[in-house]
Amino acid sequence: MIKENLEKIINEIKDGNNLGEKITLVGATKTVPVSDINFAVLNGLKVVAENKVQEFREKTDLIVGAEQQFIGHLQTNKAKYLVGKVSLIHSVDTFRLAEEISRLAVIRNVIQNVLIEINVGEEESKSGFNYDEAEKVIDTISSLPNVKVCGFMAMLPPSDDEKYLSFLFTKMRKLYDKLIDKYSLIYLSMGMSGDYKIAIKNGSNMIRLGTALFGKRNYEVK
DSSP codes joined into one string, 171-212: HHHHHHHHHHHHHT--EEE---TTTHHHHHHTT--EEEESHH
Residues 149, 141: Cα–Cα separation, whole Å: 7
- Alpha-carbon distance of 126 to 11, in angstroms, equals 32
DSSP code of residue 76: G
Query: What is the rounded CA–CA span in Å between residue 127 and residue 209?
Result: 20
Enumerate domains of the chain plus CATH numbers: 2-214 (3.20.20.10)
Q: Which of 53, 149, 52, 150 is nearest to 95 (CA)?
A: 149
> Rounded to a whole number, what is the largest CA-CA distance in the chain?
46
What's the rounded Cα separation, in Å, for the pair 171 and 32? 32
Which pLDDT tens digits describe the chain residue by residue (222 residues)?
Answer: 999 999 999 999 999 999 999 999 999 999 999 999 999 999 999 999 999 999 999 999 999 999 999 999 999 999 999 999 999 999 999 999 999 999 999 999 999 999 999 999 887 778 899 999 999 999 999 999 999 999 999 988 888 899 999 999 999 999 999 999 999 999 999 999 999 999 999 999 999 999 999 998 765 544
Alpha carbon distance 105, 101 (integer Å): 6
40 SS3 class = helix
